[in-house]
Structure 1
Amino acid sequence: MTASAHPEPLPDLASQLQRYFELGIPALAGVTEGDLGDAAADLQSQAAPSGTPLLALHPDLIPARALAPLLAREGRPGFVVEDWSDLEDFTTVPTVELPPAPLYLVHGIDRGDHLRGASPEEALTALAGDERSPLTLHEGISWLLQEPGRLEPNHCFMTIATRRPKPRGGYDSRTPALWISGGTGRDGAARRGAPKVGWCWWRNRHTWLGFASAAGRAGK
């Protein structure tokens, strides 16, 4: 069973907000629980009746590097790959418009298992043809903070709406992905099985990486 084929509903928005409180997101972001609670309350009327959306953390609220250790799998915390020193230079691509709020809604999330084996370049074209929007790295992390079980062996995913612009135009060929560490190389044996925030090349294909996407976003 895969998340794409048989998705389970996300917890309700109040439970998702409480999860962020339990993880200490307000303190890490330098805001109060009341601040985030007010932001979440503003979104209640925009939740679609067909299914509970993801309550996503905006990239401006807290850096991805600060969120990575909050991911967990089999008792092991998440981490950012050692060679990703410029993670903070990766931003949301202009074709994906995020609501200007610390919290916003992401509707109809799919892990993109059917696109495993495609390159990011090929997957982007396929998603556009299906009128779906690729997830950002923050949205992918937000999803796994709410539902850690979405990260499974051979069913991990890329978040290709986050990229690093080049000074003279175009993008860096690295693209963010979320997968499970094998505990080899610089990861270290102690991280075997841990959630890993890493990157892959834009034109490379991987049979175990899907391409997470959404039907839409909403917020104030």
Structure 2
Amino acid sequence: MPSRTPTTSAAPSDARAAVATGGLPRLPSLTAQAELLLARDVVPPQALSPAALRDAAAALERTAPAGSLLVVHPRVLPPSALAGHLRRTTTVRGRAVERAGFVVVDMTDADDFVPMPGVDVPDADVYAVAGLDRGDEMANWSPEEAEPAIAAQGRSPLTLAEGIHWVLQSPDVLARNLCFMTIGSRLRRPDGTYDARTPAVWISSGTGRDGSERRGAPKVGWCWWRNRHTWLGFASTAARHP
């Protein structure tokens, strides 16, 4: 566990309180999730056929707990390609506008972030992630502090690909000041050490290099391993099912 208790907000928002009592959006069935991926042309058919995706989802639905997330392995569908399929509706000058997801410009190596040791991703083109938690109670912790705390709970941090899949299937899992990091993915340098960047998914404010046209869009970016952010929890899973 962290050596000291990180500072947290004095008064949680109504949204955070709702999450604490099980208020996260419920995922549809795994077969319905597969149909969404197909309807939006998320999965290249030359990489994974529609029949194979449907068959895998149907098989997982018989074994994985209800409320699980369907994930296409990043070797088939890399995070950089998946991020562009994210959608989120925001309000601009009183009008509802749909924004597409994107990867920040200084993370061109997003697909090189791989599961860290101890994060056992099934060796299957399609698998399920059960018992999802956004980790709101760890908001304002650093990844360095959160990683051992998640392990102590007997849970595993989500990978970047898993986090993006979650937002794709359930856009409302991202809320203002209630977003999450995916520290199950790290970038290993040639010398064996880890890059200090850790991936996260949150909502763009439309400032800086994001551009005002991306205000309110789902954003795949990164934060430093030892930095804290009040709006970022740490997403995790109870189990993965091949």
Unaligned stretches of 5+ residues in structure 1: none
- The structural deviation recorded for 1:187 is 0.4
Aligned residues: 217
**3-state SS in 1 of match to 2:44:** helix
- 1:196 corresponds to which residue? 219
- Structure 1 residues 127-146: aligned runs within 5 Å: 127-146=150-169
With over 3 angstroms needed to count, the CA separation of the structure-2 counterparts of 1:82 and 1:8, relative to structure 1, is closer
CA distance in 1, matches of 2:87, 2:146: 27
Among residues 215, 231, 239, which one is paired with 1:208 in the alignment? 231
Among residues 48, 63, 84, which one is paired with 2:78 in the alignment? 63
Moved more, 18-27 or 178-187: 18-27
**3-state SS in 1 of match to 2:176:** coil
Quick one: which amino acid aligns to residue 164 of structure 1?
L
TM-score normalised over the length of structure 1: 0.94
Does residue 117 (structure 1) correspond to residue 117 (structure 2)? The answer is: no
With over 3 angstroms needed to count, the CA separation of the structure-2 counterparts of 1:8 and 1:68, relative to structure 1, is closer
TM-score normalised over the length of structure 2: 0.86
Contact 1:91 1:164 in 2 (8 A): yes
CA distance in 2, matches of 1:4, 1:168: 41
- The structural deviation recorded for 1:30 is 2.8
Does residue 156 (structure 1) correspond to residue 179 (structure 2)? The answer is: yes
Moved more, 95-104 or 191-200: 95-104
Among residues 45, 58, 77, which one is paired with 1:41 in the alignment? 58
CA distance in 1, matches of 2:45, 2:204: 25
With over 3 angstroms needed to count, the CA separation of the structure-2 counterparts of 1:62 and 1:192, relative to structure 1, is same
Quick one: which amino acid aligns to residue 43 of structure 1?
L
- Structure 1 residues 25-104: aligned runs within 5 Å: 25-27=42-44, 30-48=47-65, 51-74=66-89, 75-104=98-127
**3-state SS in 2 of match to 1:62:** coil
Contact 1:116 1:206 in 2 (8 A): yes
- The structural deviation recorded for 1:218 is 0.7
1:66-115, CA deviations, whole angstroms, 9 ceiling, x for partnerless residues? 11111111100000001112222211112111111111111100000000
- 2:128 corresponds to which residue? 105
- The structural deviation recorded for 1:28 is 6.5
- The structural deviation recorded for 1:53 is 0.8
Moved more, 124-133 or 35-44: 35-44
Contact 1:52 1:107 in 2 (8 A): yes
With over 3 angstroms needed to count, the CA separation of the structure-2 counterparts of 1:115 and 1:29, relative to structure 1, is farther
CA distance in 2, matches of 1:155, 1:92: 24
With over 3 angstroms needed to count, the CA separation of the structure-2 counterparts of 1:122 and 1:29, relative to structure 1, is farther
Contact 2:104 2:221 in 1 (8 A): yes
CA distance in 1, matches of 2:164, 2:229: 20
- The structural deviation recorded for 1:65 is 0.7
- The structural deviation recorded for 1:52 is 2.1
CA distance in 2, matches of 1:193, 1:72: 10
Contact 2:25 2:173 in 1 (8 A): no
CA distance in 1, matches of 2:191, 2:30: 41
